[in-house]
Chains A and B, each alone.
Chain A
């Protein structure tokens, strides 16, 4: 049976690897080797792309390649490049597509480090970063011009939990001949089929739901296969022009890979192995994350001590209809609540016993953080408000524990307020 015909769960377990022909090993071996030995003619051929192979793990590694093939299969995409973190994925895409004098159009509702990457790092490199309201489709259209290189947004804003209409924004970007780049960390390919939403390039922090256990920092870029690279190279950085000139439609991926190897944003083989194991159980875990989060959000939404509860699955959420359409009636594992003051928020966090105070997300464990003075400490009050971050806001990454135990922990922590 051809792998393309497999269902999502079968691809998550089998794509990218067949049992080792020498040993029969059913798990992808961890190729813990910096370099790979070849005769000089073969080494030259691999370097020049005339023969497949590996020569140095900064530029490519068999364990990492297996994860890349599996992620490609999950997205039914053109190819994938794994990198050292989710942030590295975004930076690699940026370095490949844009150069000084260009502009990029970016949704305001972003993870704190991503906001700082665009606002504090990329904007100082001669790039005009144009922030727009993430759900305002007309705002994207108004911000685009001939020097716009790409549009970037998060599938669900972190931690605002707003949900942009991805298909509509993709249509805007494509009308200008530029790619739509979407970070799908909160939804994963299980909740969002990127091609059908018009996403050209996926960035994802594999650290989160894909790996699952809070075990390994990693990231990935997936080319969904929608974008026609030869059409977009006229004003592109040389690294992209060269790659597309040499490899055509595969040039986008080749350029991402070149940037990864050149900047050293490589994923360790051990982390790729751990992520591969996590991916095998992605759908089972995501279903539980979603059901637990819905239960937690429903509980918090009716609690008198909670002033605001945000979860795209609640029918009162402003973007509930868009989320329902885009994500197949599943809404992810992230919930936020507001408690009226920073003091009350910290008292609540200190009272939790099962739920841990931690900045990661997508773990089997339920995690809580007050992001304003941690993840978003560098933002002004105005910037934080635009990102939906407040002193009294708590972000919950709802894990896989018993729903009853989570509700009980929330109940006793709210009682101390």
Chain B
């Protein structure tokens, strides 16, 4: 488990990667979400391999146009 801040809210999460975190946080349209970790924009291809660390500040940013 890691203590992180997601969109300004402190949380303890079980996820070890960004992909797992999107699932744990029940993000409905993950293809329509960009992710910043500690002020750095993550490439979508790296979501699986980016590991969650204690103290990470993570931002989910939603594009609310239509995406599949």
Contacts and interface: CB of A to CB of B under 8 A. Distances in A.
Interface of A: 3-4, 15-16, 45, 49-54, 60, 65-73, 76-82, 245-250, 253-254, 256-257
B66 A66 contact: yes
A58 to B, nearest CB: 13
Contacts of A45: 7
A81 B8 contact: no
A69 B61 contact: no
Interface string B41-62: 1111000000000000001111
Interface string B13-46: 0000000000000001101101000000111100
Given A50-B8, A246-B34, A248-B43, A253 B63 contact: yes
B34 A65 contact: no
Nearest to A49: B61
Contact of A15 (B8, B43, B68): B68
B1 interface: no
Contact of A79 (B42, B59, B63): B63
Given A247-B34, A248-B44, A3 B63 contact: no
Contacts of B41: 245, 248
Contacts of A53: 64
A77 B66 CA distance: 10
A54 B60 CA distance: 17
The bracket for how many chain B residues form the interface is 20 to 34
A192 B35 CA distance: 32
A100 B41 CA distance: 29
Grouping DSSP codes into helix (H, G, I), strand (E, B) and loop, the A interface class, with mixed when no group exceeds half, is helix
A52 B61 contact: no
B63 A49 contact: yes
Contact of A71 (B7, B59, B66): B66
B64 A69 contact: no
B65 A80 contact: yes
A141 B2 CA distance: 53
User: 9 tightest CB-CB pairs across the interface, nearest first?
Assistant: A68-B66, A69-B66, A79-B67, A247-B34, A250-B63, A49-B61, A50-B7, A80-B66, A52-B62
Contacts, number: 84
Interface of B: 7-8, 28-29, 31-32, 34, 41-44, 59-68
A67 B67 CA distance: 10
A240 to B, nearest CB: 14
B21 to A, nearest CB: 15
Contacts of A245: 41
Contacts of B61: 49-50, 246-247
Nearest to A45: B7
Nearest to B6: A50
A249 B63 CA distance: 11
Given A50-B59, A51-B62, A3 B68 contact: yes
A69 B8 contact: no
A68 B34 contact: no
Contacts of B43: 248
A51 B66 contact: no
Contact of B66 (A16, A49, A248, A254): A16
Contacts of A70: 66
Contacts of A50: 7-8, 59-62
Contacts of B62: 49-52
A250 B59 CA distance: 15
Nearest to A75: B68
16 contacts: A49-B61, A49-B62, A49-B64, A52-B64, A60-B65, A65-B64, A67-B66, A69-B68, A72-B67, A80-B65, A81-B65, A245-B41, A247-B34, A247-B63, A250-B34, A256-B65
Contacts of B68: 3-4, 15-16, 69, 72-73, 76-77
Given A80-B67, A247-B61, A250-B63, 16 more contacts: A3-B68, A49-B62, A51-B7, A52-B32, A53-B64, A65-B66, A72-B66, A72-B67, A72-B68, A79-B65, A80-B66, A246-B61, A248-B43, A248-B44, A253-B65, A257-B63
A6 B68 CA distance: 12
Contacts of B7: 45, 50-51
Contacts of A246: 34, 61
